[in-house]
Amino acid sequence: MNCHRCGGLMLAEQFDDPHDYTNETEFVGWRCVNCGSIVDPVITGRQRRQSNLSLDNHPTDKEEVAMVRTVLLALSACVFLLSAQPLSAAPQPDPGFAPLKFLVGKWRGTDPEGQPITAFYRFTSGATSLTETLSPKKSPAMTTIYHLDGAYLMLTHYCSLNNQPRMRVNEYKEGDKELAFDFLDATNLKNPSDPHMHKVVFTFHDNDHYTQTWMFSKDGTETPKVFKFERVK
C-alpha cells in the first residue's frame, strides 16, 4: 500500500485511542514510513462523513436561483428607498448679489496691455460669496471674493501686489449699467501711498459683454486699468 500524500510505503500498525469510550480502544491503521502520514478507520470514516455532508449541503440550481432573486429584490428595495428621498435644494445666493449673478461662468477678453485674459466666476461657501479668478497671460492669476456685509455688497481683492484691498458698493439701483466699488481699507498695506488697487467700476454692456475699470493708486495718483470681457459660450 502506498501513501496518498507522498507515495511512500505504508505499513500496518496497531494504535490506541484513549478518547474512545467504548471497549475497543485499540485499532489497526497504516503509517507511511516516509512522511509519517496515518490512515485508520476513524480518519477514513470522518473524511467520508464530511464529504457526504458537503454534498448534502451544496445548494441545487433552483436554490441558487432563489438566493440570487432574493439578493436582487433586496438591492432593488434599497435603490427605491434611496431614490424616494427628497434631494436637498441647492443654496440660492442672496438677492444682494443680483447685479453680479449673471457673471457666473467663463469669460475671455483683454487686459490693459491688450493681452489675452480669462475670468471665471462661481458661487462658493453655500452661495454666500462669489469667487472671481482673473488669469492674465503674462502675470499671476488673481482672486477677488464678492460678499455681503449686511445691506452692502463688498469685495476683497487678493492682489499680486501682495495686499488685499476691501471695497464696498455705496449706491446702486436696479437697472443701473454701472456698479462702483469704492475703497474701504486694506490689509498688508503699510502706507496709503503704496501701490494698490483703489477702486473698480463694472460697466455692463449686455448679458455677454462687460468691462472692469480698476483704479491703480500709487503716491496719491490714480491710473485706470481697463479689462474688457465677453462670455465664453
One digit per residue, the tens of pLDDT, for the chain of length 233 reads 677 778 877 767 666 655 554 445 565 676 786 787 777 666 666 666 665 555 455 556 666 657 756 765 776 665 556 555 555 567 888 888 999 999 999 999 999 999 999 999 999 999 999 999 999 988 899 999 999 999 899 999 999 999 999 999 999 998 899 999 999 999 999 999 999 999 999 999 999 999 999 999 999 999 999 999 999 98
**So what's the pLDDT on residue 230?**
98
Q: Give residue 35's pLDDT.
A: 80
Least Cα distance to 210 among 189, 226, 233 occurs for: 226
Write down the CATH superfamily of domain 95-231: Calycin beta-barrel core domain (2.40.128.20)
* pLDDT reported for residue 92: 85
- According to DSSP, residue 19 is labeled T
Q: What is the secondary structure of 34-90 as a DSSP string?
A: TT--EE-HHHHHHHHHHHHHHHHHSPPHHHHHHHHHHHHHHHHHHHHHHHHSPPPPP
Sheet holding 38-39, edge to edge: 10-16, 26-32, 38-39
Annotated domain spans of the chain: 1-60, 95-231
Residues facing 211 on adjacent strands: 203, 228
- Per-residue pLDDT of 105-134, as tens digits, reads 999 999 999 999 999 999 999 999 999 999
C-beta atoms surrounding 3 within 10 Å: 19
Predicted TM-score (pTM) of the model is 0.61
pLDDT in tens, 154-180: 999 999 999 999 999 999 998 899 999
First to last CA, the chain: 86
pLDDT at 3: 78
CATH class of the domain whose range is 1-60 = alpha beta
